[in-house]
């Protein structure tokens, strides 16, 4: 197995391992090690069936059934989420604007995603890139004083802040808000495998628990700008057949709308379940 780093901050391509074959435990361990080190790993040139995508993902842990976003599941495969701008059953896809602000997957749930594995089956001729930033470096780069301040914060995640919320079907939105009320998670989390500390705040954070929106906003804004500085980012330019796997505990990502929406862009995602976390809170005070 060979790895090829894709940027200074994070990301590596992996070659020389057949992920649709019967992977040995040591191959899985080697992939896991590369993933822990680079946070985002990329496999190229694949032709995955849903069953192969699911089988490979399961080698790394239990999969989420995507009950938090049930309208985006692939028919017959609750372990696969469709991220697509192609109409579904004659209706606009609910995921056509998914991921257009910086976030970590399922942060608005009581079981934030450990990792995600996104597979590209169709892409526009240009654009439709995804950017990733390294939240462990972002934490590490803060001053000791700032670290001690954010160490005590609880970030409140609010489903209404997902991208494209206003363009979603309002009836489905009401349903989703019931399943996903505002929830607070630690603003700094320790990775269960590596012990690395990483920031956990995003453009979907409404406020810090115990503080008003007005008090929280400048700090959230600063932390997001600090985390997403270009030198802390890897920008993935998709090819059909790419499988990109990211660790949601040490990264955020952003799907760019830098493409012609009349061109199909179609992805399938598995989500590795994280640990249960968080407590439900009332919506923010202004
Ligand atoms: O479409 C993309 O590039 C990413 C969308 C997203 O945020 C996700 O699949 O988690
Ligand atoms: Fe996402």
Q: pLDDT for 27-44, tens place per residue? A: 999 999 999 999 999 999
Ligand 1 centroid, distance to 255 Cα (angstroms): 6
Ligand 1 centroid, distance to 145 Cα (angstroms): 34
Residue whose CA is closest, atom 8 of ligand 1?
A: 99
pLDDT at residue 256, as a whole number: 97
Q: Is residue 286 part of a domain?
A: no
pLDDT at residue 194, as a whole number: 95
Q: Is residue 201 part of a domain?
A: yes
pLDDT at residue 61, as a whole number: 97
- The residue that leads in pLDDT, 165 or 193, is 193
pLDDT tier for residue 137 given thresholds of 50, 70 and 90 = very high
Taking 80 as the threshold, does the pLDDT of residue 136 lie above it?
yes
Determine the residue of 82, 99, 265 to mutate for testing ligand 1's pocket, defined as the one with the most ligand atoms within 8 A of the Cβ atom: 99
As a whole number of angstroms, the distance between CA 61 and CA 167 comes to 33
Residue whose CA is closest, atom 4 of ligand 1?
A: 255
- Is ligand 1 within 6 A of the CB of residue 189? no
Question: Which of 44-58, 84-98, 139-153 is predicted least confidently?
Answer: 84-98
pLDDT tier for residue 184 given thresholds of 50, 70 and 90 = very high
Taking 90 as the threshold, does the pLDDT of residue 167 lie above it?
no
Contacts of 124 (CB under 8 A, 6+ apart): 259, 260, 263, 264, 265
Q: Is residue 116 part of a domain?
A: yes
CB 176 within 8 A of CB 210: no
Work out which ligand 1 atom sits closest to the CA atom of 267: 1
Q: pLDDT for 257-281, tens place per residue? A: 999 999 999 999 999 999 999 999 9
CA R_g for the chain: 18
Q: Is residue 271 part of a domain?
A: yes
Structural domain count of the chain:
1
Ligand 2 centroid, distance to 112 Cα (angstroms): 11
Q: pLDDT for 214-270, tens place per residue? A: 999 999 999 999 999 999 999 999 999 999 999 999 999 999 999 999 999 999 999
Expressed as residue numbers, the domain containing 59 is 2-280
Neighbours of 25 (CB within 10 A): 8
pLDDT at residue 27, as a whole number: 97
Q: Is residue 146 part of a domain?
A: yes
Taking 90 as the threshold, does the pLDDT of residue 168 lie above it?
no
- Is ligand 1 within 6 A of the CB of residue 118? yes
CATH code (residue 252): 3.60.130.10
Taking 90 as the threshold, does the pLDDT of residue 189 lie above it?
yes
As a whole number of angstroms, the distance between CA 199 and CA 153 comes to 10
Look up the pTM and report it: 0.97
> Using the 8-state DSSP alphabet, how is residue 211 labeled?
S
Q: Is residue 285 part of a domain?
A: no
Q: Taking the mean position of all CA atoms in its chain, how far away is CA 82?
A: 14
- Is ligand 1 within 6 A of the CB of residue 244? no
CB 39 within 8 A of CB 11: yes
Taking 90 as the threshold, does the pLDDT of residue 127 lie above it?
yes
Beta strands at 73-74 and 77-84: parallel, antiparallel or unpaired: antiparallel
pLDDT tier for residue 154 given thresholds of 50, 70 and 90 = very high
Taking 90 as the threshold, does the pLDDT of residue 94 lie above it?
no
As a whole number of angstroms, the distance between CA 125 and CA 262 comes to 11
Question: Smallest Cα–Cα separation from 112: which of 282, 271, 283, 284?
Answer: 271
- Is ligand 1 within 6 A of the CB of residue 130? yes
Ligand 1 centroid, distance to 148 Cα (angstroms): 32
Contacts of 208 (CB under 8 A, 6+ apart): 153, 154, 155, 156, 187, 215, 216, 219, 220
Partnered with residue 12 across adjacent β-strands are 5, 41
- Is ligand 1 within 6 A of the CB of residue 83? yes
- Is ligand 1 within 6 A of the CB of residue 105? yes
Q: What is the chain's mean pLDDT, rounded?
A: 96
Q: pLDDT for 45-89, tens place per residue? A: 999 999 999 999 999 999 999 999 998 999 999 999 999 999 988
Q: Give the number of whichever ligand sits closest to the CA of residue 236.
A: 1
Beta strands at 12-15 and 40-43: parallel, antiparallel or unpaired: parallel
- Is ligand 1 within 6 A of the CB of residue 248? no
């Amino acid at each position: 197995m060979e790895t090829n780093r894709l940027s200074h901050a994070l990301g590596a391509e992996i070659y020389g391992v057949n992920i649709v074959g019967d992977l040995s435990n040591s191959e899985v361990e080697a992939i896991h090690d590369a993933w822990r080190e680079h946070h985002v790993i990329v496999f190229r040139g694949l032709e995955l069936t849903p069953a192969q995508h699911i089988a490979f993902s399961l080698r790394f842990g239990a999969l989420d059934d995507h009950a938090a976003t049930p309208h985006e599941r692939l028919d017959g495969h609750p372990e696969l989420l469709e991220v697509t701008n192609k109409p579904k059953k004659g209706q606009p896809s609910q995921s056509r604007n998914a991921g257009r602000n910086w976030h970590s997957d399922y942060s608005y749930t009581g079981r934030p995603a450990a990792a995600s594995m996104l597979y590209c089956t169709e892409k526009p001729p240009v654009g439709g890139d995804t950017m990733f930033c390294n939240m462990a470096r972002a934490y590490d780069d803060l001053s000791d004083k700032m670290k001690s301040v954010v160490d005590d914060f609880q970030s409140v995640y609010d489903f209404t802040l997902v991208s494209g919320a206003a363009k979603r079907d309002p009836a489905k939105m009401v349903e989703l808000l019931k399943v996903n009320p505002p929830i607070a998670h630690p603003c700094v989390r320790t990775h269960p495998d590596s012990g690395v500390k990483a920031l956990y705040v995003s453009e979907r954070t409404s406020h810090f628990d115990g503080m008003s929106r007005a008090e929280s906003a400048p700090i959230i804004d600063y932390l997001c700008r600090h985390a997403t500085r270009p030198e802390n980012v890897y920008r993935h330019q998709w090819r059909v057949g790419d499988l990109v796997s990211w660790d949601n505990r040490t990264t955020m990502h952003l799907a760019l709308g830098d493409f012609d929406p009349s061109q199909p862009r179609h992805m399938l995602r598995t989500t590795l379940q994280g640990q249960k976390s968080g407590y439900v809170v009332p919506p923010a005070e202004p």
